[in-house]
Structure 1
């Protein structure tokens, strides 16, 4: 009897495995969906956003959003592939001006991309302005023409300003912030992925560039074809372990073969320079699972033991995560009590489209207990609107703090930076953050799956307002000392932001030493 059962179970398992394998093999990434299927998904996409997104009209008036929706629907007169339809939806989510509302491929298409040997754009770039782009690395090792720092002026006859402007229409950002979009294009292969889905990548790409003598040149550069033995872990503009995710997307999990200690150290570490009595803290995430509570405790204990006078906190590549972790770091540095938000609310507990929204029943139950309806018709999370956090007494840091920011500084990172901005011992150095200084729409962000194409989009459920006086501006946290990039820094591999902070610390340390000497002389 047992043997028969074992054989039966093995047979069922083999059939299931064969079925799954067959399903994977028969997946057609070039499949086109009929207009009626696309129209149904589009209508659902619009209805869910209009019903549930608490900030749909925060920066874009309703009549304008209605126009964007209507124009998008009118384009659905012919069949479309999944990437084409996703592109269309992305141009609409970008108009919401919410960095947490983004489109994602279906799970099957994402799985296919995991191992697909797609032709790749031949180099990676750094974008730092509406018409400023330079090469950071080439994928073809034999290509010695386009060196690091080479300024590119056109690609396949398209002016760089035109390309950058086009790409911004496919990328999400908070409010009126553009630095985040520039940084998204600069994150490893993101520019190349965008180029593929918008224009396609031919076998050879024509590049117009400025040579080392400052003269305009043109050349045909071969696209990069991955070797057959290499499996590419690329999820077209989504998260990978090899490049920074776009701000607002979930933090990617490290590969299984990477030791936990190594991945943790890559995301957060502390380096101490005893000569300058300074410490450099790298924080690339505030996500749960990064064991930040213990890391902060050990770090601030070590800094107190070594009498560190200058602390650099690098959050340039921190896309956010758990607000509890960012709040904890704030408590170690802030000199006064602080709140997370002036207001935090959702506009809906239930939904007519709950079966398409991830964990909707749990969301309804959770909001039933922690939110209450107020006169404005919204359901407010009163605890965070009223609660003040107190600074740490033990291991509190009172030295000079320099926070490095950039376009990837997003979400919970802005909660941290905003809470201590303006404090007498805190200086923010770098570029405008990708996350809004006024607040954001996030907190709980389920996936919504469209039933016909199975394309997914992220639906933030809570509007968090940190500073209502800044909402109309729709900007990020502005640095006290603005430091950007140019081709000179890229060509020489120079970190200009860290360079500025190092010089400040060096000069302050030298001045303090001289003053101590003068006091000793007296």
Structure 2
């Protein structure tokens, strides 16, 4: 019996290694011109059939021209990654942040991953970088290269100029509409990932740095793992997670990947007159119980001011932001307008259980009587022939324990999707003062809801598209831009090094001003 189990384990491992080998071989195998053009046509056809607001920020004429032009420029075979570099800017041209092509990545076996870990921490992982004032800075240096000056601006990486890299990379993904704040936030946080995808894994980086008026070259190498603690016995028992800890994780929404909670509530001042609710993303945990607990606490402690911190919140559940808004609203509200979709059954056909794996197909077949009927009842067509889906268009009432005091909302370029929708509603209803930088997501709405992954037939590139146009109830006159703060605060490199929080500081100073 044991031999059979061992044999099965070995067989599974061999299949896994074979699958990885095939995937990596496919990444570097050039595709014929004919197959490339078929993938380009497939991409545009899917976009036209699935995306309900394809021409929101670009005309059909201009987008047609871009796809036709790309096909005429294909004169030789391309690898999937080479096709990605040319096709991703076209998908990003619709300026919809939830739609795009995923970067095709090399896969690694467990043995290869173990070998990389043994070599040590990669150079990019040792540097915390951020785009500030359209420049890439090192805000924290965790490497052994202690000769890196404080407040260093990175001018080049391995002699690749940052300006040139940014110009190439930022064309391959979109924000919502025409704003740049999301792109700058993403470039700062993801420059290492984007660079590695383009040039491969790096064991060392040659950095050209600018500090004050001087230019300096520094090398950051892999950081070998510290083996000084290996004397710890492997048999040592780890402390068990208590029932209380499990409940805390569920209540506040613990993200096991980032090791942080989705929500956090704390109070300032001795009398707890200022409450700060930080929401990292609208996901994980029991949000209904969490907000009930939060606003119970705020009411019991008689807080007069609430600071809602949505900086770098990428969004998440629409149901959650409607629930939160009902604790902040001062009157009845409608959260969204009618949500456009492309056809009566587009959500069923492309969204629910749209994967190609056997269990996804099985679930789709089993659930068909229920999902088919549900989408039929929930989808309608107006006089112009446009299909729309009923989603949060009802009128909602504020909760009995809704907060009635002074409300501030902190936002920046990393505030996206659902966090923009709730920020916009709070601003346009004149319920809150918005502080920070223009949000990365559009104020007037976004196309998201359900976002299936579509695989291109030949290159196997993966495209994700939003299926539901979530249109804000309150519309701003400037379409294609983020939520504009009442008070614009843009952090500087000095703020980062001195660990200042200029947005929060402005709010606290403003509260101390006489009315």
* TM-score band, normalised by shorter chain: 0.7 to 0.9
Alignment partner for residue 129 of structure 2, among 125, 130, 143?
125
Alignment of 1:180-219 (within 5 A): 180-187=182-189, 190-198=190-198, 205-211=205-211, 214-219=212-217
Alignment partner for residue 295 of structure 2, among 290, 300, 308?
300
| Matched residue, 1:370 | 378
> Does the Cα contact within 8 Å between 2:276 and 2:309 map onto a contact in 1?
yes
> In 2, Cα distance between the equivalents of 1:490 and 1:186?
14
1:454 aligns with 2:460: yes
Query: In the superposition, relative to structure 1, how do residues 357 and 342 fare at CA in structure 2: closer, same or farther (>3 Å)?
Result: closer
Alignment of 1:65-84 (within 5 A): 65-84=63-82
Can you list the C-alpha shifts for 1:405-438, whole angstroms capped at 9, x where unaligned? Answer: 0112111112211222155552111011111111
Alignment of 1:337-376 (within 5 A): 337-350=332-345, 359=354, 366-376=374-384
**Partner SS for 1:282:** strand
Q: What's the offset of the Cα at 1:332?
A: 0.6
Alignment of 1:216-231 (within 5 A): 216-222=214-220, 224-225=221-222, 227=224
> In 2, Cα distance between the equivalents of 1:21 and 1:433?
43
Q: What's the offset of the Cα at 1:273?
A: 2.2
Alignment of 1:418-497 (within 5 A): 418-423=424-429, 426-466=432-472, 469-470=475-476, 473-497=479-503
> In 2, Cα distance between the equivalents of 1:404 and 1:194?
28
Q: What's the offset of the Cα at 1:60?
A: 0.8
> In 1, Cα distance between the equivalents of 2:413 and 2:113?
27
The TM-score, its normalising length taken from structure 1, stands at: 0.79
**Partner SS for 2:395:** coil
Can you list the C-alpha shifts for 1:216-261, whole angstroms capped at 9, x where unaligned? Answer: 3131424x4364899xxxxxxxxxxxxxxxxxxxxxxxxx9x9767
RMSD: 3.5
| Matched residue, 2:238 | none
| Matched residue, 2:243 | none
> Does the Cα contact within 8 Å between 1:53 and 1:459 map onto a contact in 2?
yes
Q: Unaligned regions of 5+ residues in structure 1, if any?
A: 231-255, 513-522
Q: What's the offset of the Cα at 1:296?
A: 0.7
| Matched residue, 1:263 | 254
> In 2, Cα distance between the equivalents of 1:166 and 1:107?
18
**Partner SS for 1:474:** coil
> In 1, Cα distance between the equivalents of 2:149 and 2:419?
34
Give the length in aligned residue pairs: 468
> In 1, Cα distance between the equivalents of 2:310 and 2:275?
14
Alignment partner for residue 311 of structure 1, among 306, 309, 313?
306
> Does the Cα contact within 8 Å between 1:358 and 1:448 map onto a contact in 2?
no
> In 2, Cα distance between the equivalents of 1:375 and 1:53?
20
Q: What's the offset of the Cα at 1:502?
A: 2.1
| Matched residue, 1:57 | 55
| Matched residue, 2:235 | none
Q: Unaligned regions of 5+ residues in structure 2, if any?
A: 228-245, 356-363
> In 1, Cα distance between the equivalents of 2:115 and 2:327?
46
1:415 aligns with 2:421: yes
Query: In the superposition, relative to structure 1, how do residues 19 and 61 fare at CA in structure 2: closer, same or farther (>3 Å)?
Result: same
| Matched residue, 1:390 | 397
Query: In the superposition, relative to structure 1, how do residues 358 and 114 fare at CA in structure 2: closer, same or farther (>3 Å)?
Result: farther
Q: What's the offset of the Cα at 1:494?
A: 1.6
**Partner SS for 1:134:** strand
Q: What's the offset of the Cα at 1:345?
A: 1.4
| Comparing 308-317 and 374-383, the one that deviates more | 374-383
Can you list the C-alpha shifts for 1:428-478, whole angstroms capped at 9, x where unaligned? Answer: 110111111111111111111223333222111111221585476311111
| Matched residue, 1:100 | 98
> In 1, Cα distance between the equivalents of 2:319 and 2:73?
43
> In 2, Cα distance between the equivalents of 1:60 and 1:408?
23
> In 1, Cα distance between the equivalents of 2:106 and 2:226?
22
1:135 aligns with 2:135: no
> In 1, Cα distance between the equivalents of 2:5 and 2:219?
55
Query: In the superposition, relative to structure 1, how do residues 357 and 63 fare at CA in structure 2: closer, same or farther (>3 Å)?
Result: farther
| Matched residue, 2:165 | 163
> Does the Cα contact within 8 Å between 1:206 and 1:220 map onto a contact in 2?
yes
Q: What's the offset of the Cα at 1:375?
A: 2.1
| Matched residue, 1:33 | 30
> In 2, Cα distance between the equivalents of 1:110 and 1:475?
40
Q: What's the offset of the Cα at 1:74?
A: 3.8
